[in-house]
Amino acid sequence: MSMPEDTRAHIRARNLRAGALLSDALGKVVDYDTIPRTAHGKPYIPGEPDFHFSISHSGNYLLLAICRTHEIGADLQEIRPVKPGIDAVASRFFSPAESVYLKKITDPAEKELTFFRLWSVKEAYLKYLGTGLAGDPAGFSAVIPPGGLAGAVRVRIKEDPFVFCTFPAPPEDGYVAAVCHPRSAEGITLRISRI
């Protein structure tokens, strides 16, 4: 089965934009389509052992997170309808504690936003580990702070207490983003670009 032309064009545009952002950050030309990847698909730049980065894309935006001192994972999500439903997806991909937390939220808009923020935390953490979605998103729990996930909170990963997720400002309403890192967010550069 072949990919529709508009999908191929979007992927080409996304990869060109990723390469341009990486090139700008490194001061040399980077072709995102040809850079090597680990066994789980995490891209890296040969000869740049202190250049840690994570790329995420969703909808019309691309997020590049860079850190020169430690590993990093980032995720960007466009908020959109969840099929077959938030609770069904959460029961499959979230830890039992996270699923219970979501089920208790009765306001549909708050539940949707919390679902995508949690999803973004989980995907950012798996990217931080270098496994991406090949890892088990239900195999770890984000520790939800007492005030919930509203605003600029730091989320701790229960099984990895030295790793935190922070929520940078999204590019516009209707998006959420998370960045996972082992220390403070100091030294982390974020670039968000329209594709």
Beta bridge partners of 160: 157
Domain match, 85 and 152 both: yes
Residue at 50 is within a domain:
yes
CA pair distance 146, 161, nearest whole angstrom: 17
Same domain, 136 and 174: yes
Same domain, 17 and 42: yes
Q: In angstroms, how far is CA 194 from the centroid of its own chain?
A: 16
Residue that is written with structure tokens 């520790």 in the block: 143
Domain that holds residue 41: 5-67
Mean pLDDT, residues 177-188: 81
Tell me: do 79 and 56 sit in the same domain: no
111-144 confidence digits (pLDDT tens):
999 999 899 988 998 999 898 888 888 888 887 7
DSSP secondary structure string for all residues of 154-195: EEEETTEEEEEEE-PPPSSTTEEEEEEESS-STTEEEEEEE-
CATH number at residue 92: 3.90.470.20
**39-74 confidence digits (pLDDT tens):** 888 999 999 999 999 999 999 999 999 999 889 999
How many domains, the chain?
A: 2
